[in-house]
Amino acid sequence: MRSLKWILLYSLGGLLLFSFCISCSAPKEKEFAASGMRITLTDAFKEGKYYNMTAYYDWEEEDVTVSATKEAFSLLEDEGESTTQSLDEYATALMKASELTAEVKNENGLTYFTFEKTPYDVTYIYYAIVFRTDDAYWLFQFTCPKDSENKYAGQIMEWAQSIRFDS
C-alpha cells in the first residue's frame, strides 16, 4: 500500500512538471512595432529584414511570415498616384500591379485578398490585408504553406485585427 502511495505521488508530480513545461514552451503574445505601426503576434516570431519591407517577422519553425509595407502619401503624390482611393480600390490596384487575379473581401473590419505562389517547390497562401492611415497606405502580407492554411487562417485574422497605428 505504501509503494502505491509513492507511485501516485511521483505520477502526480511528473504530471504537474510536464504541464508546467508545456505551458512554459507555448508561444506567448508579443507586440512588435515599426514606423508607427504595432502588431501583436507571438514570441515565436523573430524580427528581421526582407528587401524593402517596412517590417518583417518570421516564425521559422512553422514557416509563417508577416511583412508590412508602408506607402507614404507624399511618395505616391510625387509619382502622380492617387491618395484618395478606398481600400478596395487600393487592393485592386495592388493586384493589378502584381498581375494577380483575386477577389477583394471585407470581413470583420478588414479589407483583404488572398493568393497563392509556389517558390522553391512549396505552395504558399498569402493573406494581403490593406490599411489606410492619415499619411499612408499599408500592405500586410501574412504567409504560410498552403497545406497549413486551415491551421493558421483564424490566427492570421486575429493577428491582422491586432494591428494598430500611432496617430
Strands 136-145 and 55-59: unpaired
Residue 42 lies in a domain: yes
Q: What are phi and psi of 27, to 5 degrees?
A: -60, 140
Residue 84 lies in a domain: yes
Rounded to an integer, what distance in angstroms lies between the CA atom of residue 122 and that of residue 100?
Answer: 18
What single string gives the DSSP state of each residue in 111-122?
A: EEEEEEE-STT-
Alpha helices in the chain (DSSP H): 2-25, 73-78, 87-97, 149-161
Number of domains in the chain: 1
Residue 9 lies in a domain: no
pTM given for the model: 0.83
How many angstroms separate the most distant Cα atoms in the chain?
86
Residue 3 lies in a domain: no
pLDDT in tens, 22-61: 445 678 999 999 999 999 999 999 999 988 999 999 999 9
Output the pLDDT for position 7. Answer: 53
Residue 154 lies in a domain: yes
Domain that holds residue 51: 28-165
**Residue 123: CATH number of its domain:** 3.40.1000.10
pLDDT in tens, 70-125: 999 999 999 999 999 999 999 999 999 999 999 999 999 999 999 999 988 999 99
